[in-house]
Amino acid sequence: MAEFFDKWKRIISEKVGEVSKKTGEIAEVVVDKAGDVVTVVANKTEQTVEVQKIKSQIHVMERNNERDFTHIGKMIYHKFKKGEDIDAQYAELCEAIAERETCIEESKAEIAKIKGNDVCPNCDAHLESGAKFCSKCGTQID
């Protein structure tokens, strides 16, 4: 009988060792009534999977919040562009954004010039190939 238990102790400690090596966590080995090793449970691993699941849900919610924050900002900027009243605290940021938008347009025109693409003779905006009018200032293109 003692020999039987010694054998099982050895098998179980081997199984625990295998699982612990794989997961780096403490494992639990379950032996059923017939004496077979039926389940090798790594409790810490299950916890890790559960934590990862929750973390990924948090990540999705955080990403959606970022998207909505951006949306709020764009709604305010849209009001600013239409000349509607916006809080003074937002005006400064909107002006900075507008300045950057102008700068971006100029930079695109610069690239178009370097590449030899068509630019508007009036405002220097980049023209789509075959455009009849400038999409920015409406100047007719010959």
Collapse the DSSP code of 8 into the 3-class scheme (helix H, G, I; strand E, B; otherwise coil) and give the result: helix
Q: Which of 29, 76, 119, 120 binds Zn ion (CB under 5 A)?
A: 120
Q: Cα torsion for 107, 99, 134, 73, to the nearest 10°?
A: 110
C-alpha span between 139 and 120 (Å, rounded): 7
Binding of Zn ion by 134 (CB under 5 A)? yes
Strand spans (E) along 9-136? 28-31, 37-41
Could you tell me the smallest distance in angstroms from the CB atom of residue 137 to Zn ion?
A: 3
Which positions ≥6 away from 71 have C-beta within 8 Å? Answer: none
Which CB atom, from 49 or from 137, has the smaller least distance to Zn ion?
137
Binding of Zn ion by 125 (CB under 5 A)? yes
- Binding to Zn ion by CB under 5 A, coded x per residue (else -) over 63-102, reads ----------------------------------------
Binding region for Zn ion (CB under 5 A) out of 22-30, 44-52, 72-80, 124-132: 124-132
Residue entry with tokens 């081997």: 14
Q: Which residues bind Zn ion (CB under 5 A)?
A: 120, 122-123, 125, 134, 136-137, 139
